[in-house]
């Protein structure tokens, strides 16, 4: 059965997924660049950031999977929108100086703590958005494949990662 979905709804799904994936993969190098000088600028800082972001991405996917499996579609959207609203408390996203000053704690733990408390919830919620929306799309349009949304998400992620070194970093200082 192939059910039609209004074009405006399809566009909303696609736009939300594109922007979510783009923001998700743009924030990674941006926040890492901001905290790099705080911890000596070594490759270990980048590696620790990578561990955090990959773990948070996995946790976001686990959250999406658990939400889809355990909650009704209505409760999924209410719960996710609620978490999105709570994550607004983290705006503007900026590293907290508190984590810079604890020289007695291993830098890797300080970096993980800084990232967790500075952007943890917004990143986790944003990482769950694409899989949730793809599932909701598939439910609203039985017979239509949601895989083009997965491809769109991957394209947005790639564009974000490529835009940082070529467009953003050369034009904006860390302060900006």
Q: What local confidence, expressed as pLDDT, does residue 174 receive?
A: 62
d(CA 49, CA 38): 13
User: How do the domains of the chain map onto residue ranges?
Assistant: 7-168
pLDDT at position 3 is 59
**What b/e sequence results for 15-44 when a residue is b if at least 16 CB atoms lie within 10 Å of its CB, and e otherwise?**
eebbebbbbbbbbbbbbbbbbbebbeeeee
Q: What is the mean pLDDT of each run of 10 residues along the chain (176 residues)?
A: 77 96 93 88 90 97 97 95 93 77 78 92 95 94 89 96 90 69
d(CA 112, CA 163): 25
Contact 146, 138 (CB under 8 A): yes
CA 117 from chain center: how many Å? 15
């Amino acid at each position: 059965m192939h059910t039609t979905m209004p074009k405006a709804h399809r566009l909303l799904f696609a736009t939300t997924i594109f922007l979510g994936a783009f923001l998700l993969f743009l924030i990674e190098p941006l926040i890492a660049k901001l905290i790099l000088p705080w911890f000596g600028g070594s490759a270990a800082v980048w590696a620790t950031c990578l561990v955090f972001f990959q773990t948070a991405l996995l946790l976001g996917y686990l959250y999406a999977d658990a939400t889809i499996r355990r909650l009704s579609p209505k409760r999924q959207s209410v719960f996710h929108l609620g978490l999105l609203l709570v994550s607004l408390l983290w705006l503007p996203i900026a590293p907290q100086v508190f984590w810079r000053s604890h020289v007695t704690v291993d830098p890797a733990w300080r970096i993980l703590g800084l990232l967790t408390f500075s952007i943890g919830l917004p990143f986790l919620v944003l990482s769950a958005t694409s899989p949730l929306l793809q599932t909701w799309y598939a439910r609203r349009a039985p017979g239509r494949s949601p895989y083009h949304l997965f491809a769109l998400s991957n394209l947005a992620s790639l564009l974000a990662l490529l835009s940082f070194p070529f467009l953003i970093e050369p034009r904006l200082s860390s302060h900006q």
